[in-house]
Chains A and B, each alone.
Chain A
Amino acid sequence: AQKVTQAQTEISVVEKEDVTLDCVYETRDTTYYLFWYKQPPSGELVFLIRRNSFDEQNEISGRYSWNFQKSTSSFNFTITASQVVDSAVYFCAAHSGNTPLVFGKGTRLSVIA
Chain B
Amino acid sequence: KAGVTQTPRYLIKTRGQQVTLSCSPISGHRSVSWYQQTPGQGLQFLFEYFSETQRNKGNFPGRFSGRQFSNSRSEMNVSTLELGDSALYLCASSLRVDGGGYTFGSGTRLTVV
Point out residues on A near B: beta carbons under 8 Å. Answer: 31, 33, 35, 37, 42-47, 50, 52, 91, 95-97, 99-106
Contact B90 A100, beta carbon cutoff 8 Å? no
User: A35-B102, A52-B99 known; A45 and B90 CB under 8 Å?
Assistant: yes
Report the separation of the CA atoms of residues A107 and B100 in the bound assembly, to the nearest whole angstrom: 24
A102, B46: Cα distance in complex, Å: 11
In the bound assembly, the distance between CA atoms of A96 and B106 in angstroms comes to: 24
Q: Is the Cβ of A101 less than 8 Å from the Cβ of B105?
A: no
Selected contact of A100 from candidates B48, B99, B105, CB within 8 Å: B48
Given A42-B106, A43-B88, A100–B101 Cβ distance below 8 Å? no
User: B33 at interface (Cβ–Cβ under 8 A)?
Assistant: yes
CA–CA, A102 to B44, complex, Å? 8
User: From DSSP, what is the main secondary structure of chain B's interface residues?
Assistant: strand
- Would you call A106 and B99 a contact (CB within 8 A)? no
Q: Which residues of B contact A100 (CB under 8 A)?
A: 33, 45, 48, 56, 58
Residue of B nearest to A97 (CB): B98
Chain A interface mostly: loop
| B interface bracket (residues with beta carbon within 8 Å of A) | 20 to 34
- In the complex the two chains form, is A97's CB within 8 Å of B97's CB? yes
Q: Does B104 touch A at the CB level, under 8 Å?
A: yes
Contacts of A95 in B (CB 8 A): 99, 102
CA distance A50 to B35 in the complex (A): 19
Beta-carbon contacts under 8 Å, B25-79 to A? 33, 35, 42-43, 45, 48, 56, 58
Most-contacted residue by chain A among B33, B48, B98 (CB, 10 A): B98
Chain A: CB-nearest residue to B6: A44
30 contacts between A and B (CB under 8 A): A31-B99, A33-B99, A35-B101, A35-B102, A37-B104, A42-B106, A43-B106, A44-B104, A44-B106, A44-B107, A45-B92, A47-B102, A47-B103, A47-B104, A52-B99, A91-B43, A95-B99, A96-B98, A96-B99, A97-B99, A100-B33, A100-B56, A100-B58, A101-B33, A101-B45, A103-B42, A103-B43, A104-B42, A106-B42, A106-B43
